[in-house]
Amino acid sequence: MAIVSRYPFSRLSGLKNPLRLPLGILAISALSTLTACGGGGGGGSDDGDTGITPPPINQAPAVLTLTGDESAQAGDSVGVVASLTEQGYNRFVWEQLSGPNVEPLAGNGSAGISFDAVFSGQYSFQLTASNPLGEQHTATFDISVGSAASSGTQVQLRADRSVSEGADFSLRLNASTSSGTNPSWEFRQLSGPTAQLSEDDSGQPLLFVTAPEVAGDQVLVFEGTLTTSAGSFSDIAYVVVQDRPEVTSEYFCDGDGDYCAKSSPLNSVYTYRADSPYRDYLADCVYSNQLVDESLCTLRDLPAIGMESSAPSVDQIMDHVLVSHDWMGARFERFLSELDPHDDFARLLRATTAVVISSDVRPSFYWSLTGAIYLDPESLWLTPEERDVINEQPDYRSGFGSALNFVTPWRYVKNNTYAFSYYYPADRLSRNFSELEADLGSLLYHELAHANDALSQDKINSGLNPDDIFFNQAHDSAFVNESVTAVYGPMSPELYALADVRYRGAEATLEQQSYTPRDVAGFFFPDSANDFYSYTTPWEDTAMLFEEAMMSLRYGIKRDIAVTNMPIRPLSADDYQVYQGQRGRIGDERIRERASTAVLGLLPEAWPQADAHLRTITPIALCAGEGWGQNLNPACVGESGPLRFAAPLPSRAIPMPTERPRSFLPPTRF
């Protein structure tokens, strides 16, 4: 049953290449929809003309079972998971009854919790599971935690959790202390239906798992073992695989994923606000494995937020939020309440029908079929416990473009340092809430640019047909990107073709494989796009312009873009040698005019300020021949000569170059 993986310890992280996007938007005809988006069922008799109604079938009540660590030592990672004999339970509320306080529980809202038992003692937890019909089941679980191990070395396999059948997830092995030499590790499955295990090829102690298909909720047990010259140390993790309704959706689908919003089964999600007016069907409308033409929700069932108010409150927005864990909704609500002083995000959210934040969303995307944005919680976590429940598996597109001979890295910078800090997961560090301002802010500016490109405030104000589906109404008139593209739009045919390789996985031709950084810089810098990703679709071109303009306006953050070599085995950011690059490229005259047009169309309330601000930006060149990391302070010329940092920044603040994009998904099939 077990699959064993062994690796040496290392801290190298691979590049994450961006999502490639389908070209074009196709038309859809509205089909009949059900009020509750998938509900139905009528009365009748199965007995022909007898007139006899068969008696109801008496079903046994659902049984709730808790499984986990009944005993542990202080310093261990412990967990508890819940399984039920019936489907449909989607709200799980955990409460600690006794023992040293471990709140908040990062897994609350899901069927699995995990925490580090810092102190010895007797812990007791109660779970209440409920379904949309209001049926509830309650169970308790006790954990006895003794004194810490005398050896001084402990390992933790994180984190115990719940997943949907067929879902991909990850488990990370951490060591609280390090003793001995020549460390290696292995993973194996101890019990439960056989899951598919795979190695992490970046040399980190990560186990990637694909959950098996199950006929009912099943608990899987995994073991991680660290071996050094001082001995072997092990820990186990419990994962409950939840039985989910059969995948019948044409949209959330398997296969090659070319036109699927997601190519694996979906997490169980629920409305963050328990009293949301859309509680009973919001997930069915936008995040369901049963989403088909006939069950697409109308705007009467699920209106765009801007149809409810032209100045929506945080409360109104949160009624439209779906989450897989409580902390995700709480963090998003706090962000809107405390880090949106200009009401940019509240206004931009008018164009959406829902916000989905789930541990299985990677990467984030907007979908014009549903009108929802789907957020990767990597931009919302604050504690290592919250980060534990986020899937670390790389995007399957990460290998795209590996045959090319160049990289086009980008980053946001402020005061000659990274605007975003990188935190190596094994360090288990927390971050301040203020750090979400730029991280989550940049993500929202991009995804909500797509949303407002599809459904501008002008479209909402002109009146939408509430009995039609979102897609038809959003696509019934021109898009903002058409105006943006009309102003000196990107023209390089070579870059359009290369974007197909890098972001959609097209096979590189021999000519494309021969392109040097010099060739690519010659295509890119004379053209009028602010990023290489802009060449995927007009939608991305508009969103990239808007994102960079708003990040500069609101946060004083500038964007670097460069063309570098493609090192075979990079050990640091400086292995990427800059051939040519720019900071603040959006200030270029032709690009500036296009960015101004994008802001005018997507967020007209911010346009006067944005247009004036864009005129103050002067692009500066990055230093050719120097490393990507060295170019944080691109003082290549001047009487005083180059200015450099006296000492390197901490490793967690110097991420490897990234080509990570945001993403937009047109509807799947019509």
* Mean pLDDT of the region 239-243: 95
Residue 645 has what pLDDT?
Answer: 31
Looking at 242, 264, 294, the residue that finishes a domain is 242
What proportion of the chain, given as a percentage, has pLDDT over 90?
67
pLDDT of 650 strictly over 50:
no
Total domains present in the chain: 2
Cis peptide before 104 (omega within 30 of 0): yes
Average pLDDT of span 163-179: 85
CB atoms within 10 A of CB 518: 11
For residue 610, what are the contacts with CB-CB under 8 A and spacing of at least 6? 549, 550, 553, 595, 596, 599, 603
What pLDDT shows up at residue 422?
85
pLDDT in tens, 32-72: 222 223 333 333 333 344 444 555 554 678 899 999 999 99
Segments forming the whole domain that contains residue 209: 64-242
- Nearest to 5, CA basis, from 208, 222, 187: 187
644 or 232, higher pLDDT:
232
Q: Which of 246-255, 543-552, 623-632 has the lowest mean pLDDT?
A: 246-255
Instruction: Look at residue 274 and tell me if it is in a domain.
Output: no
pLDDT on residue 180: 65
Q: Are 634 and 620 in contact (CB under 8 A)?
A: yes
Q: Is residue 338 part of a domain?
A: no
Residue 232 lies in a domain: yes
The whole-number pLDDT of residue 253 equals 62
pLDDT at 263 over 60: no
If you average pLDDT over every residue of the chain, what do you get? 84
> In percent, how much of the chain has pLDDT > 70?
83
Q: What is the pLDDT of residue 524?
A: 97
The answer to whether residue 320 sits within a structural domain is no
Q: Supply the pLDDT for residue 178.
A: 60
Is pLDDT above 80 for 75?
yes
Which has the minimum average pLDDT: 17-21, 276-280, 551-555, 557-561? Answer: 17-21
pLDDT given at position 481: 94
pLDDT at site 292: 85
Nearest to 236 by CA among 220, 256, 249, 257: 220
Of 215, 242, 269, the residue at which a domain comes to its end is 242
Q: Quick one: pLDDT at residue 27? A: 29
Let me know if residue 39 belongs to a domain. Answer: no
Tokens found for residue 26: 């196709």
Does residue 401 lie in a domain region? no
- Sequence length of the chain is 670
* Rounded average pLDDT over 493-519: 95
Does a structural domain hold residue 189?
Answer: yes
pLDDT band at residue 19 under the 50/70/90 scheme = very low
Residue 247 placed within a domain = no
Residue of 660 and 393 predicted with greater confidence:
393
Q: Which of 297, 273, 266, 275 is nearest to 284 (CA)?
A: 297
Quick one: average pLDDT of 441-458? 96
Q: In this predicted structure, which of 101-105, 124-128, 644-648 has the lowest mean pLDDT?
A: 644-648
150, with CB counted inside 10 A (0-12, 13-18, 19+), is: exposed
pLDDT of residue 468: 96
Q: What is the pTM of this model?
A: 0.86
Residues 297-311: tens digit of each pLDDT: 999 999 999 999 999
What's the confidence (pLDDT) of residue 448? 98
pLDDT of residue 394: 77
| pLDDT tens-digit readout, 309-324 | 999 999 999 999 999 9
Calculate the alpha carbon distances from 585 to 173, 364, 516, 588, 626 in Å.
42, 25, 22, 6, 19
The arithmetic mean of pLDDT across residues 205-226, rounded, is: 94
Q: Could you tell me if 545 and 598 are in contact, meaning their C-beta atoms sit under 8 angstroms apart?
A: yes
When pLDDT is cut at 50, 70 and 90, the band that residue 399 belongs to is confident
**Token couple for 97:** 């009854």
Given 221, 242, 263, the domain boundary residue is 242
Q: According to the per-residue pLDDT averaged within each range, which of 46-60, 261-275, 363-377, 540-554 is highest?
A: 540-554
Domain of 83, CATH number, reads: 2.60.40.10
Instruction: Give CB contacts under 8 A, 24+ apart, made by 250-257.
Output: 250/291, 250/292, 250/293, 250/668, 250/669, 251/291, 251/292, 251/369, 251/667, 251/668, 251/669, 252/287, 252/288, 252/289, 252/291, 253/668, 257/396
